[in-house]
Structures are given as structure tokens and as C-alpha cells.
Amino acid sequence: MRGALLPPQLRAITGTRSGSLAIFIVRRILWMVPILFFVILITFTLMHLAPGSPWDKNGGRQLSDTVVKNLNIRYGLDKPVGTQFLLYVWNVTHFDFGLSYQYQGKTVSTLLLESWPYTATIGVLAFLLIIPVGVGLGVLAALRQNTRVDYITMGFATIAASFPNFVIGALMVVVFSVLAYKATGGNFYLPAAGFAVDDSLIMPVVTLALLPIAYTARLTRASTLDTIRQDFVRTAWAKGLPERLVVIRHVLKNSLIPVVTTLGPTFAFLVTGSVIVETVFAIPGIGRAFVVAIESRDYPMILGTTVLFSLVVAVANLIVDVAYVFIDPRVRLT
Amino acid sequence: MHIGVWSRALTFATAGVFLAACGGGGTTGPNLASPDKQILRANNGVEPNSFDPTQQTYTYERAVGVQTYDSLFRAKADGSDVEPVGATGFDVSSDGLTYTFHLRANEKWSDGKPVVASDWVYGWKHFLNPALAAGYVDPFFDQTIKGGSGYGNVDVSSASAVDAFLNGLGLSAPDDHTFVVQLDHPAAYFKWVATLWMAVPLRKDIIEQAAGGAFASTDATKAEAWANNASTIIGNGPYMIKEIASKDHVTLVPNPNYWAPKPHLQQIVYYEIADGNTAYSQYNTGALDMIGVPLADVTVVRGDPKLSKEAILIPTLSQYWISMNTTRAPLDDKNVRMALAKSIDRDKLVNDIEHGNGKSLSTFIPKGMTGYDTSDNAQSFDPAAAKALLAQSGKKDALAKMKLLTRNSTASKTLNQFLADQWSTNLGVNIQLDVIDSKTVTRDIRKGQFDIYGLDGWIGDYPDQQDWFDIFVTGSCHNLNWGCLSDKNYDDLVTKADAESDKTKRLQEYSQAQKLLIDNAVVAFMYQPYEYDLIKPYVQGLTVTTTDDQNLPGDGRYNQAFITQH
């Protein structure tokens, strides 16, 4: 019998639905350890394969060999690569992500903590925009299939999905910052850079959310169209239920399952999308820190950021998997 | 490695000083904005990697460093000599080996304590500590200061070795107001080295307090613990740091204990917007007062009736060139190198590629400093002569196999495509571009693995020729002398001129060295870049000098600057 050898407290929970859920979560969290190890291994290898050292500059006078030698000793780069890797992994198990090469005297943890709130704020706001707008547009288009509403919505989704976000960001800056400032004499415009809890958030959040909104809308439309042709929906209509109830209680509950599946990747997209959005809008978040770290070969910072990104994506996927259970009773976690 | 020179916009600077005088130097001038509006918002581009000036090597770091810390001297506004800042004067012993700096008597730290000579000794030793590996030690300091030549051989894992090295340096404080530096050999340029932003005093008590007590000289982490916190960055400069908003901005406010009269500007905010187009938008929406114009927008600004009036073109103290690897055939042939140098239309390059932001220059020393002399036309554009030289060498086919190493950026690719086109048109040789990742390019040139590489160049650290001529001595091979010019006559001339105290003789020696450099054609000199900046009309009183940051014109002397009502 499953769980027979477990202590009574645990045996009690394994049989239940919430018990198996708890075990599933614990197992998935434990799985993150090897995942992170391989993320570190791959990043570490690629990073050291990339040409150039952290001390090489993009032109002009280079540091002298003497200074480079001392810098290598200062940051432990004089040790064999294998030793450096093992040392790094050992330190990570103690939650020590090392010192940044670029920002002297600052630990990677400090730098990540400094920049994380900006990325998280924009990411969460974008996420909150994606769900209602994306799902709303998708359902609307499906319910009004082959009408003007459908064409406009899907036309918008196609355009939004086709433009890379650095193009959208730059276009928005031109239109809503520079041209709007000129047209209104400075009375209405959106700031092109900076971060504050005000209108400076609008453009970065919209830029980041646009592509996922487009995908979510298209996916929702397709799955909604699929669902509304099902027998149980016809039955609901036949019972004389109002449209609102049919859509919310019967259609959405089923058509959203594939949409939920994509939320994990969407989260990953928000994390990687921040790299570009934060550069365009000069937001001091983690995405920009990542770009700067790669450009300057700030090895500990590259590793720290990658580990954090992987952790976020892994946790997001776990949440999505758990969310299935609640949305679709047919899903069993093993 | 920094510095922009001023001559063209001299009228602008003069007008500013004049307006400041009208304002009466107080806050009651009719045109002056109220004190709470005396805020200058400029774009510094990138966050400093360190706020410890001794560790700073990049322009965006120095920009903050020079506001928060004063060196012994700074360059005069016209760049002709040094003028007192932290020191009021100096004596040099007759053998040229001992510099006695007389420190400013009433100088104070931003927390009110007096600056004493031992702070200077401590600051310079912190800078010269090999365990901290500061970028500018070598060659400026370790190769001039007595006892510094062992810098590269100190065992940086041994505190006793590091201490022995530091204690053996020729740095001493005979009394509170005298700082003595002994040199290893006579160096006529040492007063200029004393203007560098990393040669500053530091506070032992503050640094040790931030580190949690005294620490071993090998402990780089503890030695830098103070440098990331505005409250422990206690400086002797005109401004002090009020806020560090990481990767967003740094806010500077006047140092209340500074020795000079109080400035008008009550706040200087240096934003860290890396994307030039975003900064340009911020300028246009009034969020920034001062920016460098992105290359893509230069034409728009020139054509805009309002913006063109706010724009200034500043010659920088820099020069660009192409390096040729003298150890590879056929580039070991001087005629081949000269043919390449003479077949590039530099005027066309400046106009078409740089949109006029520069000056074609086929000699070494840029306009705006002693030694500028364009009379040597050996490398000047002359396609007929270039063809003749190449024909004479008989190595045209071999030259066609050479590649032009190019950094993988739009700017580099555009420039180098132009160079290749010029060689193809004017010399009939097709040289391929070898476009690779910028870091790889740096690795390759350091190892001498390239045929032709460019454009690379130099931005002066201070307006003295020694800073320039030392680039091409044999010892700098694989440092910036990528093509590895090794010419004993050149080395001897430069060594002599560096030590020469007679100005006329010194100028002659450098002039001869410049001729050798040009004739050797180990590098092909191209153009002196100019900086195109936008400044809002309500920013007045800027005195732009040779030592300013390129995107922050006037940053060496903000004491005269002010904001008018707008």
C-alpha cells in the first residue's frame, strides 16, 4: 500500500487529494536543485568559453598586464576553471553569490536585491494587464466570430505579435513622449525614462505586455471557439441561461485551461522581455543589470542573474501546474 | 583617458562668466532662478563602477570623482599649465626627484575635519596598493614614484609583502601641510600626474570604520566597503554625494566645508541613461538639461531651428587612428603602410560618416594642446602618391589578403566599410572586413593577432604631450601600441623629452618624435572627434575647459554655473 512505511501523520495525508498535492510540490521543489546545478554548469561553461576577459575594454587604453594579473588574483580568476566552478557552487549552497567584478565592493546579492523590485513591479503590472485584456479580447472575438469586432481584435493581435518590443518601445517614446510634448506644449506627455510609481510606468508596462496580450487573445479565441461548439454549452443555451452565465460558468471554465498552460512561458517571457524594455526606458531593473553584466563579462553577476531567472521561471511553472488542479478537476498530479 | 578641449565655443563660456558677474555672485540677480530651482540635470550615461576615485578609470566614473574629490592640482582653463586645488604650490628639488607640495591651509573634508598631509599619504597608498589593482597605477605612478617599480612583483596574498612595498614608496608627510613625493627618475610631467582624479587624499578613520575596524592590506573587500554608501564617501571636493540611486542617478549637493565661495547650483543630478535616443527624448521633454546628441539625430538637430541654437560642437582632446601590424608581411614594409595611410579621404570621412563632428587630421597631437602641428603632410590624402608607393613596393597582391579587424558595432562597421571602400577606390585593393565580437577584438589585438585594426585612439588624460608620446614606445607594445612600433630613435627622444625641464627643448624633442611616428606610418592618423552636445538655454555660466567630460561640458568648474528663470 502506498505510504505504508510512512509515519502515521504522513500516511494520513498521502491518500488525500491535498496530501498528494503537497508531496507533488515538495518533489518539484527538490527537483529545482539539480535544475539549478545544471543551469549554473551550463552558464559557467558558456561564460568562460565566451572570448575576452572582464578586464578587456572596448577600445582605448587597456589595463596593463601587471594590473590584469593583480585583478585576476583579487577575484580568484588565477585559479583553475574547475576549482573556480566548485568554489562557486560551494558558495551558492551558502547563499553567497560572490562579489561583482564591475561594481566594486558590491555583492551580487546586493545588486540583485537593489534591482529586483523594479523588474518585479513592471512584470506584475504587465501580468495583471495581460490576463484581463488578453482573455477579454479573445472571448470577445470568439463570441463575435467573423464580425468586424473579431477582425479588429485579431488584426490588433497580429500586429502586436509581429513587432519586436524594442521597436514598439521606441515608437511609443516618439509618439507619446516627444510628439505629444511638442503637440501639447508640454501639458501632456509620458516620460521616456526613469522609474516612479506614476505615469512613467505606463509605456514600459504596455510595451512588455503587448506581445503576451496578443498571444493570449489568439489562444483564448481559438479555445473559446472550440468550447462553444461543445454539447454542454448547447445544453446551457437550451436551458435558457443568459449569455453572461453561459460564458462565465460554462465556456470560460473550460476554454481557459490551455490559456493557463501558457502562463508559465508568459512569465518567462516577462522576465526575458525586461532585458529590452528596461534598456529602452532606462529602468534600473534586473534585465538591464543582466545586459550590462554580459557586456562587461561580470561573471558572478551573470551567474547570479541567471540563477534568479531560472528560479523565477521554475516557481512560475510550479504555480501553474498547481493551478491546474483547481481549474480542472480531471487533472491528477503524480 | 578623458578630457574635451574648448576653443570653438569660447564665446559661449565668456558670455556665461559675464552673466554670472551680472548676477552679482549672489542669489538676487534678476535673471537667476530661485535656489530651489538651481538644479542641473545631465546624462552621465552609466553608473560609476566605484565611487572610490582611486579605482576609477572610465569617464562616467571620473565625472563623479572630480566633483567629490580634489587632487593637488587641476589644469588651467586654457590647458596651458596646472593651477592649485588641494595644494597651493610646489617646489621641485634641483635634481628633479623631490616634489614638495604645500597643501591648502584651510582645506576641510565634507564632514568638517581638516585635510592633513597624512590623508594624502594614506590616499595615495590606498591607490598604489597592488592588492586593490587600481587601473591607473601602471604606468603613471608605479613607474615614476620612488619604490614603485616593484609594483608588478608584489605577492598580493601576503600582507607583509604589500606593507613592505607601500612603506617603501617615496611618499611622506613631514608636517600637516606638506606632502612630499620622491621620484625614481626626473619626470617633467609629474605636476600633470598630480592633476589626475585618482591621486587624492582619503580618510583612514572612515575607511576603517566602514570596514568594521583595521584590516589587512591584502583585504580588497574591506578596503572598498566605504565606497558604496553616500554617508561614508567623505570627500574634499566642491560637491558631495547626497544620494546614490543605483543605475538611475547620483545626486550631488555642495560641500558646505569647501574652501571656495559657495556655488549657485544647489543640486547636480547625473542620470545614468545608457540609450542615447532615450536621453535625447528626455532632453526634448525637458527632463534633462544637458546631453550628448546621438549620431542618428545629429542631422535632425542641425536642421531644427530651436535645437540648433542649443547645440554646441566641442573639439575633444583626442585623436583616432588605424593600427597596422608591423610584424606581418606586407605590413612590415613602410611603403605599404604609407600607401594605406595616404589613400583615405579624411574630410569625406568626417562629413559623411561623422556628420561633421570632427576634424580630419593626419598628424598625431590634436588641436587644442601644445604640440598641435599639421605641417607634416606625409600621411595626407594623396591617391596618386599612394598608388605609386604601393606599385614601388610590388606587394599589391599580398596587401589584398590583409583583413581589417572590426568591432561588431554599427558605428565600427560603418566606419570600417568606408575605409575599405576608400582603399578599393583610391588604391585598387580590396581589403575584407573581419567583423567580430568586441571583446574578442580586444583579446586578439592584445596578443598582436591582427593585420589592420581600427579605429582606435586616445583621449588625453591631461594636456601634456608625455601622455600621448608614451603610447608608442616599445614598452607599450600590446598595450595601445598594437602595431608594435619599435624604434630606438623614437624611444630615446620620448624618454629624453619626458624628463626634460626646458620647455623649448622638450617641444623640439616631441616634435621630432612626432615626425618619426608619422613617417613610420605604424598607425595612420585619421581625425580628431568633436563632441556635439545640447544644453538648455537656461543653463548659464558654464566654463568649458580642456579637462571636462565630453558629455558634461563645464563640469570642471561648476562654481560659476547657474540656472536662469525659465
Nearest to A257 by CA among A328, A317, A326, A325: A328
Q: So what's the pLDDT on residue B29?
A: 52
Instruction: Dump pLDDT digits (tens) for B385-411.
Output: 999 999 999 999 999 999 999 999 888
Position B38 pLDDT exceeds 90: yes
Instruction: Dump pLDDT digits (tens) for B22-31.
Output: 333 344 455 8
d(C-alpha B68, C-alpha B53), whole Å: 9
Torsions phi, psi of A123, nearest 5? -65, -45
Q: Is B256 exposed, middle or buried (0-12, 13-18, 19+ CB in 10 A)?
A: exposed
Position B124 pLDDT exceeds 70: yes
Of A58, A62, A280, the CB nearest to B479: A62
Alpha-carbon torsion angle B82, B85, B88, B89, nearest 10:
-30
Contact A281/A203 with Cβ under 8 angstroms? yes
Give yes or no for B220 touching A (CB within 8 A): yes
Interface of A with B in 232-261 (CB under 8 A): none
B558 contacts: CB under 8 Å, gap ≥ 6:
B40, B67, B238, B239, B263, B265, B268
Point out which residues pair with B313 in neighbouring strands: B532
A203 chain-B contacts, CB cut-off 8 A:
none
Q: Which amino acid is at A225?
A: L
Q: So what's the pLDDT on residue A252?
A: 87
d(C-alpha B406, C-alpha B433), whole Å: 6
Q: Residue B188 is placed in which grid cell?
A: 617633467
Average pLDDT, chain B: 90
Give yes or no for A185 touching B (CB within 8 A): no
Contact B542/B243 with Cβ under 8 angstroms? no
B157 chain-A contacts, CB cut-off 8 A:
73
Q: 3-state class of A285 per DSSP?
A: coil
A96 chain-B contacts, CB cut-off 8 A:
none
A56 with B1: Cβ contact below 8 A = no
Of A52, A105, A170, the CB nearest to B228: A105
B42 chain-A contacts, CB cut-off 8 A:
none
Q: Which alpha helices (DSSP H) does A163-252 contain, by range?
A: 165-172, 180-183, 202-228, 231-238, 243-245
A61 with B1: Cβ contact below 8 A = yes
Q: Residue B455 is placed in which grid cell?
A: 579605429
Q: Is A232 exposed, middle or buried (0-12, 13-18, 19+ CB in 10 A)?
A: exposed
Q: So what's the pLDDT on residue A6?
A: 58
B247 with A289: Cβ contact below 8 A = yes
CA angle B58, B64, B67 (to 5 degrees): 130
d(C-alpha B310, C-alpha B286), whole Å: 13
Position B1 pLDDT exceeds 50: no
A59 chain-B contacts, CB cut-off 8 A:
407, 438, 442, 456-457
CB atoms within 10 A of CB B351: 14
Q: Residue B183 is placed in which grid cell?
A: 621620484
State the DSSP code for B364.
S
User: Best interface-test mutation with B: which of A103, A107, A112 has the largest number of B CBs within 10 A?
Assistant: A103
Question: Strand (E) positions, B132-264?
Answer: 171-175, 178-182, 239-245, 249-254
Nearest to A275 by CA among A265, A267, A283, A266: A283
Contact B222/B165 with Cβ under 8 angstroms? no
Cα distances from B5 to residues B80, B237, B300, B544, in angstroms, run 12, 22, 25, 8
Instruction: Dump pLDDT digits (tens) for B79-104.
Output: 889 999 999 999 999 999 999 999 99
d(C-alpha A300, C-alpha A293), whole Å: 9
Nearest to B116 by CA among B125, B103, B100: B103
pLDDT in tens, chain A (334 residues): 444 455 666 665 666 767 778 888 898 899 899 999 999 999 999 988 887 788 888 776 788 888 888 889 888 899 999 999 999 999 998 889 999 998 888 899 999 999 999 999 999 999 999 999 999 999 999 989 899 999 999 999 999 889 888 899 889 988 998 899 988 888 888 888 877 778 888 999 999 999 999 999 999 999 999 998 889 888 988 988 888 888 888 888 888 888 888 888 888 888 888 888 998 888 999 998 998 898 888 999 999 999 998 988 888 888 888 887 777 777 766 6
Q: So what's the pLDDT on residue A7?
A: 61
Nearest to B209 by CA among B190, B191, B189, B229: B229
Question: pLDDT band at residue B177, thresholds of 50, 70 and 90?
Answer: very high
Q: How far is CA A172 from the centre of its chain?
A: 22
B306 contacts: CB under 8 Å, gap ≥ 6:
none
Interface of B with A in 111-140 (CB under 8 A): 130-135, 137-139
Q: So what's the pLDDT on residue B274?
A: 87
Q: So what's the pLDDT on residue A243?
A: 85
Q: Of the ranges A6-20, B146-160, B425-439, B540-554, which one carries the lowest mean pLDDT score?
A: A6-20
Q: So what's the pLDDT on residue B315?
A: 87
Chain A closest-CA separation from residue B442 CA (Å): 6
Position B452 pLDDT exceeds 80: yes
Instruction: Dump pLDDT digits (tens) for B341-357.
Output: 999 999 999 999 999 99
Q: Is A135 exposed, middle or buried (0-12, 13-18, 19+ CB in 10 A)?
A: buried
d(C-alpha B365, C-alpha B342), whole Å: 18
Q: So what's the pLDDT on residue A216?
A: 92
B442 with A52: Cβ contact below 8 A = yes
Q: So what's the pLDDT on residue A249?
A: 84
Torsions phi, psi of B476, nearest 5? -90, 5
Task: Determine the longest span between alpha carbons in chain A, in angstroms.
Answer: 85
Q: 3-state class of A196 per DSSP?
A: coil
Give yes or no for A58 touching B (CB within 8 A): yes
Position B527 pLDDT exceeds 70: yes
Nearest to B538 by CA among B35, B42, B31: B31
Position B563 pLDDT exceeds 60: yes
State the DSSP code for B115.
P
Q: So what's the pLDDT on residue A9?
A: 62
Chain A closest-CA separation from residue B367 CA (Å): 19
Q: So what's the pLDDT on residue B138?
A: 84
d(C-alpha A310, C-alpha A36), whole Å: 7
Instruction: Dump pLDDT digits (tens) for A174-223.
Output: 899 889 998 888 888 888 887 777 888 899 999 999 999 999 999 999 99
Contact A108/A100 with Cβ under 8 angstroms? yes
Instruction: Dump pLDDT digits (tens) for A238-284.
Output: 988 888 888 888 888 888 888 888 888 888 888 888 888 998 888 99
Contact B533/B44 with Cβ under 8 angstroms? no
Find the mean pLDDT for residues B179-185: 97
Position B429 pLDDT exceeds 90: yes
d(C-alpha B314, C-alpha B529), whole Å: 9
Point out which residues pair with B39 in neighbouring strands: B267
State the DSSP code for B258.
-
B156 with A73: Cβ contact below 8 A = yes
Q: Of the ranges B474-483, B507-516, B551-560, which one carries the lowest mean pLDDT score?
A: B474-483
d(C-alpha B144, C-alpha B151), whole Å: 11
Point out which residues pair with A99 in neighbouring strands: A107
Torsions phi, psi of B118, nearest 5? -65, -25
Of B52, B224, B277, the CB nearest to A170: B277
Contact B313/B531 with Cβ under 8 angstroms? yes
Q: Which amino acid is at B160?
A: S
Interface of B with A in 251-280 (CB under 8 A): 271-275, 277-279
Chain B closest-CA separation from residue A310 CA (Å): 23
Q: So what's the pLDDT on residue B8?
A: 26
CB atoms within 10 A of CB A155: 10
Chain A closest-CA separation from residue B50 CA (Å): 6
Q: So what's the pLDDT on residue B242?
A: 97
Torsions phi, psi of B404, nearest 5? -100, 110
ipTM of the complex: 0.81
